[in-house]
Structure 1
Amino acid sequence: MKKIVDLISEDVKQAFASKGYEEKYGFVTLSNRPDLCQFQCNGALQAAKAYKKAPIIIAQEIADILKENARYKEITAIAPGFINITLSDEFLAGYLNGMRKEKDFGCEKEPNPMKIIIDYGGPNIAKPLHVGHMRSAVIGESLKRIFRFMGNEVIGDVHLGDWGTQMGLVIAELKRRKPDLVYFDDNYTGEYPDEAPFTLSELEEIYPAASAYSKENPEFREEAKKITYLMQNGHRGYMALWKHMQDVSVTDLKRIYERLNVSFELWKKESDAQPYIPDMVKYLKENGYARISDGALVVDVKEETDTKEIPPCMILKSDGATLYNTTDLATIVERMELFNPDQIIYITDKRQDLYFETIFRCARKTKLVNENTKLKFIGFGTMNGKDGKPFKTRDGGVLRLEYLIDMVTDEVYRKIMENRTMDEEEARKVAEKVGLAALKYGDLSNQISKDYIFDVDRFTSFEGNTGPYILYTIVRIKSILEKFKETGKTVNPGLEILEAQSDTERDLMLQITKFSDTIQGAYEEMAPHRICQYIYELSDKFSSFYHETKIISDEYDEKRQASLILLITLVQGILLTCIDLLGFTAPDRM
């Protein structure tokens, strides 16, 4: 189903062509003065230069043609050359009836569907998720849903960090505390225990303790490096501990991601890319892509057109050790071999922009990816506290993600219980859904690259541009539809949405028509905030319409009441679709 703005553009382009002008001047946009008209065309201003004619004359010629079209209620040429366009109520209602009957409300899908891998996790095992992990998870999940909605095959990968020095530090600290564990006995040849020798809480305490201890004790730091090397080369005991760390960590990670309504198709790890490294290094050497620099193996990625310094991409350190560069390039090799994607998208802190620029250039220059495979980095801004600095705990530490979820959920629960409209058990369940909406909407309503202030009071407000306000609108519509059902009435299948009878109804209908354009824009620009803005405006226009219109009223005839019920059902369906794309759901009541 064509977007409404495209249908109008077709009419205007034909009008330009019929008067001997190029069609391109008939491009139509939403009006920037909605108090004057619904849509506008500024093409006469550009055409005037090409055809050496006063723009108002061209605009008037086009307006005279369009006035004959039943789609339009009013067409006006305004000096110096604007064409203001207002749709007829009949056409507007007809378009909504078309949306109502089409799958996904008539949203046009990707004409050339792609296979896309999105890397949007990145937590390290043996460490808890903290607030820094939230944005990549929330943004990645929403983009995955948007891409999939548009018809693509999308694979989300958590890409766990499980192979670096932190593993050696944890094992070294465990060895310092419990030296008698069987894992540290090099003469042991039996089976290792199935149960880990540590709990999740112990594991989460061990890493920061080990990290701090290593800074004060160089011999311990060297021991950790040695353990890392041995583990990466197959030491039985260390590999068994590493496996325990994975099992304990992943179980907890899945639990917290589930609370965030975030899921991954792949639970791949850094270690999965290790088998690809030797052949990759050999390939880079044999094909002349890599060179030795101060003992290290590097690939030059600087280009003549660069205006900033771009360092070489280091593949191996001078001692032969691998780096994140090595692992990330090997992961690309793995993804190409296993999935052959059309696009790989990485979502992480925007401060890693130069790093990914280097990795992508290296992958392209060395032909580790197909010529047509797109590599995309999406860098997000920082979630800050009210002081404008990265969000911290009161004592200055990094807040665990689970505690952040609890903080928002508890505040929503408190507000629900203030009204005492439901019992405590139901309030807790509702607070989980509303709290998640508050958290996700508060994040996604900002442009991805922008920093934003985390304000629990504002995010959990049931009024304004917030997740709870969107959910409240959905719940209100559910309540109206339930009341209509209780009257015993039904909507006959042949009935449709009728022409608007008020300005608020017309405004609501016009906002509905922007659905496809919004989703298309969010998809092309990788911008979930566009969906947030759309559903906020849709909810706002519904609120105005609701306060002015008695939807459940005996004064209406069957057709008028059916029209209103079909209209608000359409609003509800679109809102539910949009919040699903943002990654949260609505309760039955609030």
Structure 2
Amino acid sequence: MKKILDLIGAQVQAAFADAGYEARYGRVTLSNRPDLCEYQCNGALAAAKAYHKAPIVIAEEVLEKLEKLEMFSEVSAVKPGFLNLKLSGAYLVSYLSEIAQSDKLGCGPADSHRKVVLDYGGPNVAKPLHVGHLRSAVIGESLKRICRFMGDEVIGDVHLGDWGLQMGLIIEELKDRQPELPYFDENYRGEYPKEAPFTISELEEIYPAASARSKEDEVFAKRAHDATFRLQNREPGYWALWEHIMRVSVEDLKKNYEKLNVTFDIWKKESDAQPYIPGMIQRMKEKGLAHESQGALVVDVKQESDTKEIPPCMLVKSDGATLYPTTDLATLVEREELFDPDMVLYVVDKRQELHFTQVFRCAKMAGIVPDETELRFLGFGTMNGKDGKPFKTRAGGVMRLETLIGEITQAVYDKVQENRTVDEQEAWEMSGKIALSALKYGDLSNQASKDYIFDVDRFTAFEGNTGPYILYTIVRIKSILRKYAENIGGDPERAELREPVNSSEKALMLLLARFGDVMDQVYRELAPHKLCAYIYELSNTFNSFYHETKILAEQDRDRQSGYIALICLAKQVLEKSIDLLGFSAPDRM
């Protein structure tokens, strides 16, 4: 289904051509003066230079062609050469009726179907999810849903950190605590226990203790490095312990991501890329890209067009150890082999931009990915507290993600209980949905690359630009539709749109007609915050219509049917939008 802006643009371009001018001057945009018109075209100003005519003359000639079209209720030419356009009510009804009957509410599919590997989440195993993991998960989940909705095939990969020094630290700390375990007996030849020798809570205590100890105890730090090396060489006992760590950690991670309504298609990890490293490094050497520098193996990635220093990408340290760039390049080799993607998209902290610049350049130079494959870095900013510093607990520590979710849910529950119209169980279920909307919308309504202030009181407010306000609008529509069915006996599904009779009704129609254009922009720019801005405007516009219109008290049944059909479509658009953002609405609030 064609977008409303494209349809209007096609008519205006045809009018320019009929008037004897190049069609390209008929570009139409949303009006920047909604008090004067709904859409506008400024092409006559540009055409005036090419055709040596006054722009108002050109605009008036095009106006004569446009006035004959049923699409418009009003067209005017305004000095120095603007064309102001208003859509007719009949055309809006026709277009919105088509949207309501389409599978995707008039959106997509995108011009080109892509296969996308989306790298988001990225937690380290053996550590609890904390607020620092929130943005990658929330933004990545929304982008996955948006790209799929627009027709892409998306493979979401959590890409676990499971292969670094933290494993050696855990193993050595566990060895000191429980030296009798068979994993540390080099002469042990039996089967290792199926049950892990620790719980997730114990594991999460072991790592920080080991990390702190390694900073003060050089001998222990050396042991941890040696243990990491032995693990990476698949020493049986250490490998069996690693498998326990992975299983216990992943089970806990899945449980916590589920609370965020975040899922992944594959649970790949850094260790999966290890078999690809030798071949990848050999390829770099054969192409003359990798060379030694002070004992390390590096690739020069600086380009003449660089305006800032881009250091060489280090593949192997002087002591033979590989690094994050090595693993990320090997992961690209693996992804190319397994998925042959058109794009690999990384949703990562923006402070890692230099790292990914180096990795992407290496990958292209070495031919790890084809030239036409897009490697894209979407860097996000920091979630800060009211003091403007990275969000912390009251005690100054890093807050666990489940603690944050719990605090927001409790804050919402307290507000819900003030109303006291629902029982305990429903109150908690409702609070969970509202809290998730507060958390996700609070994050996604900000441009991803920018830092933002996390304010529980503001994010959980039922008024203003918040998730709960969006949900409240949806719930209000649901309530009207229930009353229409129960008290009046009407069937919302049989309601039919009618031409608008007042400005607030037409404003709602115009905004719903823009959904396809908005989604196209959100998809192209990978910008969930623009979808948030749209549904906030849509919620405000609906609520203005609601307050100015007696929907249920309307005596004219045809007119009432038109109102019901319109708010049904508003509900559909709002519900689809919040689903793309990763949350849902309760039936009442």
TM-score (norm 2): 0.98
Kindly provide the CA deviation profile for residues 254-282 of structure 1, in whole angstroms up to 9, marking residues without a partner as x: 00100100000000010111111122222
Alignment of 1:435-474 (within 5 A): 435-474=435-474
Alignment of 1:497-508 (within 5 A): 497-508=497-508
**Which residue number in structure 2 is paired with residue 570 of structure 1?**
569
**Which residue number in structure 2 is paired with residue 386 of structure 1?**
386
- 3-state SS, counterpart of residue 378 of structure 1: strand
**Which residue number in structure 1 is paired with residue 43 of structure 2?**
43
2:301 partner letter? V
**Which residue number in structure 2 is paired with residue 431 of structure 1?**
431
User: Structure 1 residue 116 and structure 2 residue 116: aligned?
Assistant: yes
User: Which shows bigger deviation, 216-225 or 42-51?
Assistant: 42-51
**Which residue number in structure 2 is paired with residue 84 of structure 1?**
84
**Which residue number in structure 1 is paired with residue 150 of structure 2?**
150
Cα distance in structure 1, aligned partners of 2:548 and 2:239: 68
Is the 8 Å Cα contact of residues 492 and 568 (structure 2) preserved in structure 1?
no
1:206 partner letter? I
Kindly provide the CA deviation profile for residues 185-225 of structure 1, in whole angstroms up to 9, marking residues without a partner as x: 11111111111111111111111111111111111111100
Decide whether aligned partners of structure 1 residues 417 and 253 sit closer, same or farther in structure 2, where only a CA change above 3 A counts: same
1:110 partner letter? A
- 3-state SS, counterpart of residue 104 of structure 2: helix
Residue 113 of structure 1 deviates from its aligned partner by 0.6
Cα distance in structure 2, aligned partners of 1:77 and 1:110: 34
User: Structure 1 residue 304 and structure 2 residue 292: aligned?
Assistant: no
Cα distance in structure 1, aligned partners of 2:546 and 2:305: 58
Kindly provide the CA deviation profile for residues 479-507 of structure 1, in whole angstroms up to 9, marking residues without a partner as x: 11111111363449876311001111111
Residue 386 of structure 1 deviates from its aligned partner by 0.6
Residue 178 of structure 1 deviates from its aligned partner by 1.8
Cα distance in structure 2, aligned partners of 1:4 and 1:338: 39
Kindly provide the CA deviation profile for residues 373-401 of structure 1, in whole angstroms up to 9, marking residues without a partner as x: 11000000111111111111112111111
Cα distance in structure 2, aligned partners of 1:318 and 1:419: 66
Residue 108 of structure 1 deviates from its aligned partner by 2.6
**Which residue number in structure 1 is paired with residue 192 of structure 2?**
192
Cα distance in structure 2, aligned partners of 1:280 and 1:68: 65
User: Structure 1 residue 278 and structure 2 residue 278: aligned?
Assistant: yes
Is the 8 Å Cα contact of residues 114 and 343 (structure 2) preserved in structure 1?
yes
Kindly provide the CA deviation profile for residues 533-577 of structure 1, in whole angstroms up to 9, marking residues without a partner as x: 1111111111111112122236122x2222111111111111111
2:559 partner letter? R
Residue 283 of structure 1 deviates from its aligned partner by 2.1
- 3-state SS, counterpart of residue 103 of structure 1: coil
**Which residue number in structure 2 is paired with residue 10 of structure 1?**
10
**Which residue number in structure 2 is paired with residue 102 of structure 1?**
102
Is the 8 Å Cα contact of residues 108 and 151 (structure 2) preserved in structure 1?
no
Residue 72 of structure 1 deviates from its aligned partner by 1.1
Cα distance in structure 2, aligned partners of 1:269 and 1:6: 44
Decide whether aligned partners of structure 1 residues 554 and 30 sit closer, same or farther in structure 2, where only a CA change above 3 A counts: closer
Kindly provide the CA deviation profile for residues 317-356 of structure 1, in whole angstroms up to 9, marking residues without a partner as x: 1122111111111100000001111110001100111100
User: Structure 1 residue 475 and structure 2 residue 475: aligned?
Assistant: yes
Cα distance in structure 2, aligned partners of 1:103 and 1:269: 36
Q: CA RMSD in A?
A: 1.3
Is the 8 Å Cα contact of residues 491 and 562 (structure 1) preserved in structure 2?
no
- 3-state SS, counterpart of residue 417 of structure 1: helix
Decide whether aligned partners of structure 1 residues 493 and 345 sit closer, same or farther in structure 2, where only a CA change above 3 A counts: closer
Alignment of 1:169-568 (within 5 A): 169-487=169-487, 489-491=489-491, 496-553=496-553, 555-557=555-557, 559-568=558-567
Cα distance in structure 2, aligned partners of 1:112 and 1:39: 28
Cα distance in structure 2, aligned partners of 1:417 and 1:27: 53
Is the 8 Å Cα contact of residues 353 and 377 (structure 1) preserved in structure 2?
yes
Cα distance in structure 2, aligned partners of 1:331 and 1:159: 9
Cα distance in structure 1, aligned partners of 2:40 and 2:178: 74
Q: Which runs of 5+ in 2 are unaligned?
A: none
Cα distance in structure 2, aligned partners of 1:368 and 1:449: 28
- 3-state SS, counterpart of residue 156 of structure 2: strand
Decide whether aligned partners of structure 1 residues 481 and 570 sit closer, same or farther in structure 2, where only a CA change above 3 A counts: same
Is the 8 Å Cα contact of residues 385 and 391 (structure 1) preserved in structure 2?
yes
Cα distance in structure 2, aligned partners of 1:413 and 1:81: 56
**Which residue number in structure 1 is paired with residue 579 of structure 2?**
580
Cα distance in structure 2, aligned partners of 1:379 and 1:28: 32
Cα distance in structure 1, aligned partners of 2:552 and 2:422: 25
User: Which shows bigger deviation, 107-116 or 256-265?
Assistant: 107-116
User: Structure 1 residue 69 and structure 2 residue 79: aligned?
Assistant: no
Cα distance in structure 2, aligned partners of 1:193 and 1:378: 42
Cα distance in structure 2, aligned partners of 1:332 and 1:489: 59
1:308 partner letter? K
User: Which shows bigger deviation, 564-573 or 547-556?
Assistant: 547-556
Identity among equivalent pairs (%): 62
TM-score (norm 1): 0.98
Residue 437 of structure 1 deviates from its aligned partner by 0.5
2:170 partner letter? V
Cα distance in structure 2, aligned partners of 1:24 and 1:91: 24
Cα distance in structure 1, aligned partners of 2:331 and 2:492: 56
Cα distance in structure 2, aligned partners of 1:287 and 1:512: 54
Cα distance in structure 1, aligned partners of 2:166 and 2:2: 53
- 3-state SS, counterpart of residue 104 of structure 1: coil
Is the 8 Å Cα contact of residues 13 and 23 (structure 1) preserved in structure 2?
yes
2:9 partner letter? S
User: Which shows bigger deviation, 292-301 or 267-276?
Assistant: 292-301
Cα distance in structure 1, aligned partners of 2:279 and 2:59: 65
Decide whether aligned partners of structure 1 residues 494 and 253 sit closer, same or farther in structure 2, where only a CA change above 3 A counts: closer
Residue 471 of structure 1 deviates from its aligned partner by 0.7
Cα distance in structure 2, aligned partners of 1:5 and 1:375: 30
